[in-house]
């Protein structure tokens, strides 16, 4: 009897874990809750460190100093095999690469540096003399990002600014002498996408032909932003279907061309 009960319990636990694994792989909400809250806090407690700090150690251990491609590969490997992290990721990263290459910008703004993964992807493709500003709200993440960007040998191509996007955008012309941006990558707080694009318009930071690329428009999702850029006569938008970084959850990027 006890043997049968143990078998049933073991089977139930196995089924529960299988269901949990399926949900984490396929359901966006479950994926984010598991990776961004439960799993991250567990690792933080066990290691007495943070996920950005652990990512930095992985880069320092496995990447070649001064080689951006090896830094990107080291972070991708860490996120696939050790700990998930909300970088743009390798799959969507290739889309980001293609858009940056197509635009060939001379002025670039990134909102949401996190640990510098997408910053490295963008900076390595920029022509000499390009002005590139990346903005990060969290000081601890910004500290790690600076070290990763420097490890990739790209510190001279990037200006990393700490603070809130809503505070910075109105001051960009005055502080950095940039009149308009050729390319803007949005990958920060999703509820800031729409207010910030309206700030770009209000302060004249977009020119005819400026390109905005927004990440995570499906998961976690930015419905108000998508409705705005897809219905405004001032933009021509295209959706690039993909997956949430390092998962099979549906996600994508929205590229919006400013028409003036």
Known binding positions for substrate: 190, 216, 245
pTM: 0.88
Task: Grade residue 188 by pLDDT with cuts at 50, 70 and 90.
Answer: very high
SS (HEC) of the chain: CHHHHHHHHHHHHHHHHHHHHHHHHHCHHHHHHHHHHHHHHHHHHHHCCCHHHHHHHHHHHHCCCCCHHHHHHHHHHHHHHCCCCCCCHHHHHHHHHHHHHHHCCCEEEEECCCCCHHHHHHHCCCCCCCEEEEEECCHHHHHHHHHHHHHCCCHHHCEEEECCHHHHHHHHHHHHCCCCEEEEEECCCHHHHHHHHHHHHHCCCEEEEEEEEECCHHHHHCHHHHHHHHHCCCEEEEEEEEECCCCCCEEEEEEEEECC
Binding residues for Mg(2+): 187, 215-216
Residue list, annotated binding site for S-adenosyl-L-methionine:
88, 118, 136, 187
pLDDT (0 to 100) of residue 112 = 98
Question: Which class in CATH covers the domain with range 89-258?
Answer: alpha beta
- Is the pLDDT reported for residue 109 higher than 90? yes
Mean pLDDT (whole number) for 100-121? 98
Catalytically active residues are 187, 190, 215-216, 245
pLDDT tens sequence across 198-241: 999 999 999 999 999 999 999 999 999 999 999 999 999 999 99
Share of the chain above pLDDT 90, in %: 80
Q: How confident is the model over 54-67, as pLDDT tens digits?
A: 999 999 999 999 99
- Sheet with 250-258: strands ordered across: 159-162, 131-136, 107-111, 181-186, 206-214, 250-258, 235-243
Whole-number pLDDT of residue 21: 45
Q: What is the dihedral of CA 62, 119, 157, 184, to 10 degrees?
A: 170
Integer Cα distance of 196 and 99 in angstroms: 21
Q: Would you list the domain boundaries of the chain?
A: 89-258
**In whole angstroms, what is the distance from residue 118 CA to residue 99 CA?**
13
Is the pLDDT at 19 greater than 70? The verdict is: no
Instruction: Please state, rounded to an integer, the average pLDDT across all residues of the chain.
Output: 90
Annotated binding residues, written as ranges, equal: 88, 118, 136, 187, 190, 215-216, 245
């Amino acid at each position: 009897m006890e043997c049968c009960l143990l078998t049933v319990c073991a089977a139930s636990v196995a089924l529960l874990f299988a269901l949990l694994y399926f949900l984490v792989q396929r359901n966006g909400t479950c994926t984010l809750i598991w990776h961004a809250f439960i799993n991250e806090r567990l690792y933080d407690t066990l290691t007495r460190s943070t996920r950005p700090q652990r990512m930095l150690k992985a880069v320092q251990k496995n990447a070649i100093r001064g080689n951006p491609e090896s830094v990107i590969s080291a972070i991708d490997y860490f996120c696939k095999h050790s700990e998930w992290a909300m970088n743009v990721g390798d799959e969507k990263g290739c889309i980001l690469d293609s858009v940056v290459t197509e635009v060939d910008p001379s002025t670039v703004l990134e909102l949401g540096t996190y640990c510098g993964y997408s910053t490295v992807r963008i900076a390595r493709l920029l022509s000499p003399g390009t002005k590139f500003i990346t903005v990060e709200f969290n000081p601890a993440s910004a500290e790690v990002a600076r070290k990763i960007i420097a490890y990739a040998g790209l510190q001279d191509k990037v200006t990393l600014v700490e603070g809130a996007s809503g505070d910075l955008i109105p001051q960009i012309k005055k502080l950095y002498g940039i009149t308009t941006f050729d390319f803007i990558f949005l990958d920060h707080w999703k509820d800031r996408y729409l207010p910030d694009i309206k700030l770009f318009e209000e302060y004249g930071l977009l020119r005819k032909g400026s390109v905005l690329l927004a990440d995570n428009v499906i998961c976690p999702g930015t419905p108000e932003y998508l409705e705005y850029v897809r219905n405004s006569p001032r933009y021509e938008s295209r959706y690039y279907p993909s997956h949430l970084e390092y998962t099979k959850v549906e996600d994508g990027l929205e590229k919006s061309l400013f028409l003036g």
